[in-house]
Amino acid sequence: MGAGRKSKRTTAPSARNLHHLSARELIAELVGANMASDVLASAWPSTVMDLAHRDEYALVSMLGLRLPAARRLAAALELHERLVQWSAPVRPIIDDPAVAVAVLASACTLPEEHFWCLPLDARCQLIGSPVEVSMGDVDGTDAGPRLFFRAALRCGAVQAIASHNHPTGNPSPSADDQAVTRRLVAAGRALDIKLVDHVIIGPDRSRWCSMRRETPACFCG
């Protein structure tokens, strides 16, 4: 290379941070539309959510796009919908005590008593995961209303199911279980959080007891 000649340095263009783009700008990037054109300047929905579940022909009509561009946008919207469905956690509907037992299947083999709160929304869907309220020994555990409903309130529950295991084998409710249930029912009424049931699980998953069914008097009064 001759003296005095300067080499040219090429600089890669800086990437645009997509997080800082508006919804309209993101769509323009996707479909290759000019933001100054009439396409995205005049024909625009009141909210980007209006585009959801639209096929390419509807997008052609709404945004004035050519069909290939509208198809790319429809494909992107469909991909987003699938990602949302894939990432959304499955929230079981616990409208039967057998479902509560299935949710707490791991409790069957625990060597000591554990007490759980299963916080539910208005549709009986589990909010988050079962909350362990307390743990005791093989003969029992403390299950005060304060700890139980603190867990329910923290989750924003409007109703809840109580559950505990009987490591000794017999899932039939004891006198203490009935007393605890009555206290929880009374406290729930004061807090406007319904105690749906108190489910007792034995060491064998096939053996369990719904106190709502077996001792309905505990839920009256």
Q: What angle do CA 198, 111, 213 make, to 5 degrees?
A: 20
The number of domains in the chain is 2
Q: Give me the DSSP letters along 177-221.
A: HHHHHHHHHHHHHHHT-EEEEEEEE-SSTT-EEEHHHH-GGGG--
Could you tell me if 168 and 142 are in contact, meaning their C-beta atoms sit under 8 angstroms apart?
no
Name the residue among 54, 6, 46, 3 with its Cα closest to residue 24: 46
Same domain assignment for residues 201 and 102:
yes
25-54: average pLDDT: 66
Domain hosting residue 25, numbered range? 18-87
pTM: 0.60
Q: Is residue 108 part of a domain?
A: yes
CA distance 94 to 213: 15
Q: Is residue 24 part of a domain?
A: yes
> Could you read off the pLDDT of 13-27 as tens digits, one per residue?
455 677 777 777 788
Same domain assignment for residues 108 and 196:
yes
User: At residue 139, does pLDDT exceed 50?
Assistant: no
> Could you read off the pLDDT of 98-129 as tens digits, one per residue?
999 999 987 767 888 899 999 999 999 999 88
Same domain assignment for residues 30 and 77:
yes
Q: Is residue 133 part of a domain?
A: yes
End-of-domain residue from the set 87, 121, 143: 87
Please list the alpha-helical segments (H only) found in 13-163. Answer: 23-31, 38-42, 56-63, 67-87, 97-103, 145-154
36-63: average pLDDT: 68
Using 50, 70 and 90 to split pLDDT, how confident is the model at 49? low
